[in-house]
Amino acid sequence: MRSREQLSWFGDSGDVEWQSPIAGALWLRTWRLGEWVHGPLSPLFRTSLVPMLVEARERGGTGRLGQRLPRMWRVKSPAYCVVNGYFFARAEPSTVSLMMLPVRFFISEALGGWTERWEAETLPTFLERVASHDAIDVEGSSTELLLARLEELVREVAECWYAIGLASGGSVPLKRFLGGILKAEFSDVDILTLLRGFQTSIIGGQRHLYNLAQSARQAGILGRADAAQALATAIAAGGAADSPQDFGAQLALALAEVGHQINTLDFVHPCLQESPADLAVALEAYGRRSARNPDIALQKSAAEREQISNRIRDGLSTKKRKIFNRLLAALHRYETVLDNTTFDIQRAWPIFRRYLREIGGRLSRDGRLDAADDVFFLTYDDLRRACLERRGARPSGADAWAVTARDNRRLWLSQHDLDPPRCIPPPGDPAWDGAMTWPINLRAICGAGAPHDWILRGIAASPGSRTGRARVCRTLDDAASLEPGEILVTVRTTPNWTPLFSQVAAIVTDVGAATSHSSIIAREFRIPAVVGTQQATRVVKDGDQVTVDGTAGLVHVELQSL
């Protein structure tokens, strides 16, 4: 049991979901939702989507899309807590579910797996549902209908979220098994090189952004101090003044394909199509003449993968070759599902925001909120009450819901100034000596024996080694100063960061796994990556000379730069 003083950062039990004490349990902030949630959670997101995402993960999905998915392992209850606005995932597995994991995995694979049906039927079903939501006349719909549709979409998104976790978890044993085969007979081959060169939705989306960047460069938009404003004008007008005729068409096409991309699951933040500043960063990265063309990078990765795969097949016995081919095909299916579902699940976010801002606008016009965006600072229960309660005489003073939203916004903004720990208890605490080591080695992440600050240990995500100057970018705004050939050091990357991968020499993140977005894209661009270091952005400084070993999962920082 931790002392009260050691828990003082977290306030009292009133700050914790389920009103349960956090002492005596293990918690990790940079896990589960860690790559997709940064900073404190907005009240509406915390009380609507977060509980459903966690519930789907722990209960085997929501069953909303017609396919029964295999069960994953679970963690002890409560599965998460939100403290001072920050999300922490429980880091202790349910022993029984963990023991059953290999059995369930092999039974699922023996029955043909689930990935093919997901790709052929279920993910298209989700996209059909998204299209039906998008087609709704939001302004002409009742508030009750919008709330009902919102809840439907939340459950459908949660099912896709579970599938992402299932694909990520399913690829782990396959990678380890194949890695064992390679280590025994092809010691010079890294299993991660066999995960490159696949045409997926994320890479297809980057093609549109790359082409748009070339058009924007010809239009004279890039390199201007007011590039973001020029893009905002072009988005509003469907084209850009004083630019080539085809820029408007390129812009519309690109936003139709990738405008739904997000930096965080919290829908208080805008999507790419609503954020000209983020779009300007992406186009500036792809618009440089040194930028890697995604299509060319994909072709090179595919050629390298085929060459290595064929060499392995030629060197294996007939029996081992059959096993290798089957397992590699299954691994590729998991990786494809992971990539495509990650891309498509984000299509729900513009709809979330449209529903909620419409409801917020109605509450604002009715005098219950100061502005439409204040809707994000009500809890979901408060939002339902504000929408559904009968309105009596107009109060003489400020409306209670407006006051609540103002107070919650002020609290949320103040929480951004906090520096939350990455785990509870702190790293090196003896409690972590008994933490799980499989399928995730949390003992190594949070236990004693952490490396010296100048040698960071993380997860090998993309093979190779590069030495260069570090650039620490905690937000996309910071990334505007990123120079070609530098090593990007960041907390985590989401799809909006992808164009930056065309510029950098290597990637280092605090958060992530071998199946996370940053890992997948780094492999496609054939640049070394080490993810999940937990502390890179704290240890590494701008300008430090660092060596990223994406094969060993190590980051070396030059001593003289510390």
Query: Residue 439: is the preceding peptide bond cis (ω within 30°)?
Result: yes
CB atoms within 10 A of CB 412: 19
Q: Which residue bears the tokens 């093609």? A: 207
Copy the structure tokens of residue 493: 């990357």
Predicted pLDDT at 561: 47
Query: In terms of DSSP H, where are the helices of 259-379?
Result: 276-287, 294-315, 318-345, 349-365
Copy the structure tokens of residue 229: 């404003």
What is the value of pTM for the model shown? 0.91
Sequence-separated (6 or more) residues with CB below 8 Å from residue 393: none
Sequence-separated (6 or more) residues with CB below 8 Å from residue 514: 171, 172, 175, 192, 459, 460, 461, 531
Q: Which residue bears the tokens 């933040």? A: 269
Copy the structure tokens of residue 258: 């990738």
Copy the structure tokens of residue 428: 């090196």
The pLDDT tens digits along the chain (562 residues) read 333 333 445 544 344 443 344 778 999 988 888 778 888 999 999 999 999 999 999 999 999 999 999 999 999 999 999 989 999 999 999 988 888 888 888 788 777 889 999 999 999 999 999 999 999 999 999 999 999 999 999 999 999 999 999 999 888 888 888 888 888 888 888 888 998 898 899 889 999 999 999 999 888 888 888 888 989 888 887 654 444 457 888 898 899 999 999 989 999 999 999 999 999 999 999 998 889 999 999 999 999 999 999 999 999 999 989 989 998 999 999 999 999 999 999 999 999 999 999 999 999 999 999 999 999 999 999 999 999 875 544 444 558 999 999 999 999 999 999 888 888 888 888 899 889 887 778 887 787 554 455 788 888 999 999 999 999 998 888 887 889 999 999 988 888 888 999 999 999 998 888 778 788 889 989 999 999 888 899 889 999 999 999 999 999 998 554 4
Alpha carbons 189 and 307: distance in angstroms, whole number: 11
Give the residue among 298, 264, 293, 263 at the shortest CA–CA distance from 281. Answer: 263
Predicted pLDDT at 559: 58
Beta pairing partners, 506: 487
> What is the Cα 185 distance to its own chain's centre?
35
Decide: 321 and 310 in contact? Cβ < 8 Å. Answer: no
Give the CA distances from residue 340 to residues 346, 483, 560, in Å, rounded to whole numbers and listed in that order.
Answer: 10, 30, 43
Q: Which residue bears the tokens 């139709």? A: 256
SS3 28: strand
Predicted pLDDT at 249: 84
Query: Please, what is the end-to-end C-alpha distance for the chain in angstroms?
Result: 36
Predicted pLDDT at 240: 47
Predicted pLDDT at 3: 34
Predicted pLDDT at 15: 44
Give the residue among 440, 432, 507, 533 at the shortest CA–CA distance from 176. Answer: 440
What DSSP element (H or E) covers 152?
A: helix 143-185
Alpha carbons 268 and 373: distance in angstroms, whole number: 8
Copy the structure tokens of residue 217: 């460069």
Give the CA distances from residue 363 to residues 146, 165, 257, 352, in Å, rounded to whole numbers and listed in that order.
Answer: 13, 37, 32, 17
Give the CA distances from residue 70 to residues 121, 404, 511, 535, in Å, rounded to whole numbers and listed in that order.
Answer: 16, 42, 26, 34
Predicted pLDDT at 245: 57
Copy the structure tokens of residue 359: 């409801």
Q: In what order do the strands lie in the sheet with 27-28?
A: 80-83, 86-90, 27-28, 423-424
**Phi, psi torsion values for 355, nearest 5 degrees:** -55, -50
